[in-house]
Amino acid sequence: DADVTQTPRNRITKTGKRIMLECSQTKGHDRMYWYRQDPGLGLRLIYYSFDVKDINKGEISDGYSVSRQAQAKFSLSLESAIPNQTALYFCATSVDGQETQYFGPGTRLLVL
């Protein structure tokens, strides 16, 4: 079984709809991250969380919110989706004190 899972893997939604992307991990890592990947751009950090009570904005947090429901679960919400949020979204985890990040398989989101 995969250590970092994301649901759904693909999602099509309409402008203005609220959607949630979910990430779960069985690695026991404290730190979790949400990134988006766009063609021609590097991965960009949306939000990160170092534990359940610690959530921080990344470089492109506008239009997004997150919830850390448990050590193993980190959800990303788009309150009112817009077409330029069409992208590939990745969740990642890491261990406190180590730099290596472990990525999930991604969610491909299309906002019409």
Partner 1 sequence: EDQVTQSPEALRLQEGESSSLNCSYTVSGLRGLFWYRQDPGKGPEFLFTLYSAGEEKEKERLKATLTKKESFLHITAPKPEDSATYLCAVGEGGTYKYIFGTGTRLKVLA
The interface with partner 1 within residues 52-111 (CB under 8 A) comprises 56, 58-59, 90, 92, 99-106
What number of helices (H) and strands (E) belong to the chain?
0, 11
**Which one, of 50, 42, 74, 46, lies nearest residue 58 by Cα?**
46
Cα–chain-centroid distance for residue 29?
Answer: 15
For the segment 4-23, give every residue that binds partner 1 (CB under 8 A). 4
> Total binding residues for partner 1 by CB under 8 A?
22
Closer residue to partner 1, CB minimum distance, 1 or 59: 59
Q: For residues 13 and 28, is the Cβ–Cβ distance under 8 A?
A: no
Q: Supply the minimum distance, in Å, between the C-beta of residue 100 and partner 1.
A: 5
- In the complex, the smallest distance separating the C-beta of residue 82 from partner 1, rounded to whole angstroms, is 23
8 A C-beta contact, residue 104 and residue 9? no
Which residues would be at the binding site for partner 1 (CB under 8 A)? 4, 40-45, 48, 50, 56, 58-59, 90, 92, 99-106
